[in-house]
Amino acid sequence: MDPTAGSCYWTTERDGEVKLRLGKNSENEPPITVPDLIMSAATKYSHYLAIGSKYKKSWQLLTYIEYYEACRRAAKAFLKVGLERFHGVGIMGFNSTEWVIANIGAIMAGGISVGILCSNSPKACQVIAEASEMDIFVWKGFLDLADDISDEKLDQVIDSQKPNQCCALVYNQGTSEIPKAMMLSHDNITWTTAAAVQSLGFKCPPNGQEVLVSYLPLCFAGAQILDVWVAISVAGTVYFPSPEAGKWNGPPRAPGTGFLTEMLREVQPTTFCGIPHISQPPCFGLAKKLTFDPARKFLGLNHCQQFLNLGLGLPRATVEFFLSLDIPIFELYGLSECSGLHALSSHQAFRLLSSHTKVEKENQEDIGNLCMWGRHIFMGYLNDKESTEEKVDSQGWLHTNNLGFLDMDKFLYVMGNSNDMITLSSGEVINPNPIEERVKTRIPIVRYVMVVGQDAPYLCALLTLKCQINPETGEARSALTSEVVACCRKLRSQSTWLTDVLDNRDPLVTEFISQGIQDVNAEAPSEGTKIIKWVILDNDFSVGGGELGPMSKLNRTIVAKIYQEDIQKFYESSSS
């Protein structure tokens, strides 16, 4: 079989085949399928512990050979109930043993795995189900159906699969947009996995066994690559939270709070992957009083050797805090369209091996549109030729819509997304991301900032103060965090609630924020990039409120709709 048989680097057909981006280098990984990957692990590491889920305070554990056999049983059950080739299997649920077995079983059976976010609206779920042509939703108790399907029939289906065919759909879920289906091939998953293992230097038996905790939503490509596929590739052990912990409706919770800390302390992970939200919680106030080993033990990370941040970049203050605890955090950058990973920072590398980055349409500061090339680039958008042609050019380069630059050593700096850019009425185009980061650095009591000003004469800012989080719902409370209260006391302010500072009720806090904005403006490269007006909002942003996506990314469109009146007030005097 020639894995490069596809005539084009992209396709929009679920049963299409793409041309693989195979280079001339000898270190190229040979193309394999997902079933090949897990069968290899089950063969080499059959008796090593693979996965564990906690039910009613006791662990249910599977070795790699048991894991593999459970996936085969799931595949047989899918075939029994009529799963057609290249049709979808919808998996909607919190991270669990059942989730990953359904995921792999669907692929083994020749179907397409489709992870669905639990917090999706009914409309979004309907769009995903119809576009994916789902034959099956999982699950409960259907594994017994596997008994009617022979091993030979399943093996025929597995043997018919090719590395350059689609095996998974990933959706841009949790946004205000209509979900768009991104097709990932077997090779997208297996190559990205191999590249991540090499680039990040994971251990593999007999030299040690990686231990991971899976809590970030597996319907996102980056989380799935690390928690499922990398774990299988290096024969690591993955632990899942109990079903009770899965009832949490907010963003993933931070070490030091609730079920996650309990799991970390119990299973002692060797690699921990988080997102910006969980790296900046109020609970680190206690950790700050500790040093090195005591702090790591308090957070349940005393055996952890790799700390990874997936998603948006971390503020410098957060990075420096963790470094003070002898915890260096390595950043990972990627999109669903590149299988979740592209650039990284680690002791071994700063990008996935054999992948490439270029910058197009650079401005005077050498900042331009980022483009990627490699075997991790997705197949295309399902049934959407127009969007696919806009995203992937004839040479196979993925145009990300992200802005950034490469320094002299080819390190990548991501500055934001072109869709975030603000054009003032003067015609000046401004990137709000660095301005927002400066505000959070200068005014540490601020948790979220959104700069506005599209088609307006000047910039303004919506600010939220750091409020306590309800551990049961994930919603922000009106009580200020201990960090903010401590700052207020230094200012000789007695404020403890958000309502104490709204509408300029606390002149000391108002003056503190005003001074911080002035400091930010002093660093502005032009008059147009200065913040002229600002307001403290009456609620902190949250996933449940819609202001944040599932991975805590700011939903600018939704925030603009929710706080439309506040934004209009900024410009009422200037328009009259």
Q: Which two tokens stand for residue 65?
A: 């050979």
pLDDT value for 248 = 45
Instruction: Give CA torsion, residues 384, 386, 391, 392, to 10 deg.
Output: 90
Q: Cα dihedral sign for 93, 141, 103, 303? A: positive
Q: DSSP of 343-393, one letter per residue?
A: EE--SS-SB-TT-EEEEES--TTS-EEEEEESTTS--EETT-HHHHHHHB-
CA 139-143-144 angle, to 5 degrees, is: 130
* Apex 340 CA angle, 339 and 343, nearest 5: 110
What are the tokens at 551? 């991975």
Q: Is 38 exposed, middle or buried (0-12, 13-18, 19+ CB in 10 A)?
A: buried
CATH number of this structure's domain 34-406: 3.40.50.12780
Domain limits, the chain: 34-406, 421-575
Structural tokens at position 333: 């950058």
**C-alpha span between 388 and 382 (Å, rounded):** 9
Q: Residue 107 belongs to what H/E stretch? A: helix 97-108
Residue from 118, 126, 354 nearest 243 by CA: 118
Closest CA to 161 of 186, 133, 180: 186
N-term to C-term CA, the chain? 70
pLDDT for residue 43: 97
Asked if the 421-575 domain carries CATH number 3.30.300.30, the reply is yes
Tens of each residue's pLDDT in the chain, 576 residues: 565 566 899 999 999 999 999 876 645 789 999 999 999 999 999 999 999 998 878 899 999 999 999 999 999 999 998 999 999 998 988 899 999 999 999 999 999 999 988 766 677 777 787 777 766 555 556 777 888 899 999 999 999 999 999 999 998 765 556 778 999 999 999 999 999 998 888 999 999 999 999 988 899 999 999 999 999 999 999 999 877 655 544 445 444 445 677 888 899 999 998 876 655 554 455 455 555 567 777 777 888 888 898 876 676 767 777 777 777 888 899 999 999 999 887 766 666 777 899 999 877 677 899 999 999 999 999 999 999 999 999 999 999 999 989 888 888 888 888 889 999 999 898 999 889 989 999 999 999 999 999 999 999 999 999 998 776 666 788 999 999 999 999 999 999 999 999 988 999 999 999 999 999 999 998 999 999 999 999 998 887 788 887 777 888 989 999 999 999 999 986 554
Q: Which has the closest alpha carbon to 37: 207, 146, 210, 158?
A: 158
pTM for the predicted model, two decimal places:
0.87
Distance CA 493, CA 388 (A): 55
At residue 342, the 3 state secondary structure works out as coil
